[in-house]
Amino acid sequence: MELVVNGVAKQLDVEAEMPLLWALRDVLDLTGTKYGCGVAYCGACTVLVDGQPVRSCSFPASAAEGKRVTTIEGLAKDGALHRVQAKWIEFQVPQCGYCQSGQILAAAALLASNPSPSDADIDAAMTNVCRCGTYSRIRAAIHAAAKA
């Protein structure tokens, strides 16, 4: 199958039902996408498919065929961090950092669809779990990125 990952067409010889997570990590060596729970709950594996956040641990690779897949490795453009990534650093969002690639991609998708989200909008869109509890910093960084 052919997937367009971070703007580059990639040929993959994988089973159609292989989760996109494993195609990205094990076949394409894009390890920024993390394995968390394996049941699409925690969101550590979140990537963007045609700009929409999906839990790649339960999303078949074949379902991404013909669509644009963006991982954390592809969010920055031309050497410049995405505004969400920059605010994540400025607000020192991560504690352990494990969930952050999924959090950042979910936040980028939120801001692409809602450039000025309220706290309620952020709470509704940011369903990823952070075991360290950095939710207040996540919200602050998203608000700051909206203004950037």
Distance CA 131, CA 111 (A): 23
How far are the Cα atoms of 90, 101, 142 from residue 146, in angstroms, in the given order?
Answer: 14, 18, 6
Q: pLDDT, tens digit, for every residue of 80-139?
A: 999 999 999 999 999 999 999 999 999 999 999 999 999 999 999 999 999 999 999 999
| Chain centroid to CA 54 | 8
Instruction: Please check whether residue 49 is in contact with residue 69, taking contact to mean a CB–CB distance below 8 angstroms.
Output: yes
Q: What is the pTM of this model?
A: 0.96
Structural domains of the chain ordered from first start: 2-74 (3.10.20.30), 83-147 (1.10.150.120)
Q: pLDDT, tens digit, for every residue of 109-120?
A: 999 999 999 999
Confidence of residue 76 (pLDDT cuts 50, 70, 90): very high
- Secondary structure percentages of the chain, helix, strand, coil, to 5: 40, 15, 45
Q: pLDDT, tens digit, for every residue of 32-63?
A: 999 999 999 999 999 999 999 999 999 999 99
Q: Which two tokens stand for residue 66?
A: 């013909």
